[in-house]
Amino acid sequence: MSSTSISPQTELPSRPESHARLQADGALALITAFWGITFVVVKGALSHGDPFSFLALRFSIGALVLTAIARRELLVPQTLRRGLLLGSFLFLGFALQTVGLVSTTPSRSAFITGLYVVLVPVLGLALFRRAPRVSSWVGVVLAAVGMRYLTGTDLMGQGLSTGDWLTLACALAYAFHILLTERYAPKSGVVALVAVQLWVVALLSLLCLPFAGARVEWTPSFIGAAAFCGLFASAMAICIQTWAQTRTTAVRVALICSMEPVFAGAYSVALGYETLGVREWVGGGLIVLGVLMAELGGHLWERMRARPSHPLPDVQAGG
C-alpha cells in the first residue's frame, strides 16, 4: 500500500489489544467526568482573578510537580520539541476560547468548541489518511447533533461573530492537540511530555498578561482552585489522556471527551445550580448514544468479522 492511500482503522485487534483499548477508554471517561466537575471550580475562581493569571498559576503548579517526577527525561531534545508543539496547540485552545467568550454566548462557545469531535476524524483523514470505522462516523454525527441540542445553539439562524470564529479556531487547536498526541505519545515519556506542555501553557499565559490586564485577588479559594486544577485537572488528567492515547484512537478520544458538558450539566443539576429541560436531556442522551455507538458498534463489527463462517453442507437429491 502506498504512503498516500487511505488506511481505514478496521484492523481486527487481538484480545490483549482490545482489553487495553477498553482500559484506555474507561480511563478517558473518568477524567472527562472529572473535567466536567471542574467547570464549577473554575467559574468560582474567575470571580477573583483574570483568566490568564489563573491559567498561568494553574499550569505552573502542574508543571512543577511533573518536572520533579520527570527530572532528566524533561531535557531530551525530542521530548522538548514535541512538548513545545503540543503545548502551543493546548494554549491556543484555552486562549482562543477565553477571548472568544468576550463576543459570543457561553452556549455558542460550548457548541462550537465541541465541534472538535467532528474535526478530529476529518483532519485525521486529510492529514494522516486514516479513515475511522463506520460506527465511529455514526457516533461522531450523533455527538455533534447532541451537542447542538444540549447547548440550544442554532448557528444557521444568524451569522458567526468574531467570538464564534475565535472559538472555531479553538476547536481546531484542540483537534490538532488530540491528533498529534496520538502520534507522539507512544514515542516519548508521558510525564516529561506533559510537563513540557504545561510549562508552555504557563509561560504563554504569562506573556498574555500585559495585553489582557492582570487582576488577581489572592484569596484561599482562588489559590485552592488553581492548585486543584493544576494538580488534578491538568497534570494528572493530561498524563492519563496521553497514556490512554497510546492504546486507543484519536476519534475515540474526541468522542469520549465530548461527554464533558454532559457531566458538567449533571453535576450542576445535582448541586441545584440549574434544571435541565427536555432539550438538554435529549442532547445529552444523543452524545452518550454516539459514544456507545462508536464503542459497542466497533466491538460488534470486530466480533462479526472474527466469527468463523461455516459452509452449508451439500444437499444431495435422493435417488
pLDDT 10s digits, 204-249? 999 999 988 888 999 999 999 999 999 999 999 999 999 999 888 8
311: left (phi over 0), alpha (psi -120 to 50) or beta: beta
Q: Percentage of the chain surpassing pLDDT 70? A: 81
Average pLDDT on 278-302 reads 71
Spell out the alpha helix ranges (H) of 47-189.
Answer: 51-70, 77-100, 106-113, 116-128, 134-151, 162-184
pLDDT of 318 > 70? The answer is no
Among candidate residues 240, 287, 293, 286, the one with its CA nearest the CA of residue 35: 240
CA distance 173 to 82: 15
**Residues 68-86, mean pLDDT to the nearest whole number:** 92
- Exposure of 42 in the CB half-sphere (CA atoms within 13 A): 22
The mean pLDDT of 281-288, rounded to a whole number, is 78
What pLDDT digit, counting tens, does each position of 99-143 carry?
A: 887 777 766 777 788 888 888 888 888 888 777 777 777 878 887
CA distances from 238 to 156, 185, 187, 188, 194 (A): 34, 11, 16, 14, 7
CB 199 within 8 A of CB 63: yes
Q: Which residues pair with 49 in a beta bridge?
A: 216
Please identify which residue in the block is written with the cell numbers 468463523: 308
pLDDT at 299 over 60: no
Cβ–Cβ < 8 Å for 118, 140: yes
**What are residue 42's phi and psi, to 5 degrees?**
-65, -40
Residues 6+ apart with CB under 8 A from 52: 95, 98, 205, 206, 208, 209, 212, 214
Q: 274 CB contacts (<8 Å, ≥6 apart)?
A: 265, 268
Q: Which amino acid is at 136?
A: S
Distance CA 267, CA 258 (A): 16
> For position 304, what pLDDT does the model report?
57
pLDDT of residue 307: 59
Query: Can you give the pLDDT at residue 308?
Result: 56
Contact of 163 with 107, CB cutoff 8 Å = no
- Examine the pLDDT at 11 and tell me if it is beyond 50: no
How high is the pLDDT of residue 53?
Answer: 94
Report the candidate in 170, 215, 197, 178 with the shortest Cα–Cα distance to residue 67.
197
Is residue 163 within 8 Å of residue 104, measured between CB atoms?
Answer: yes
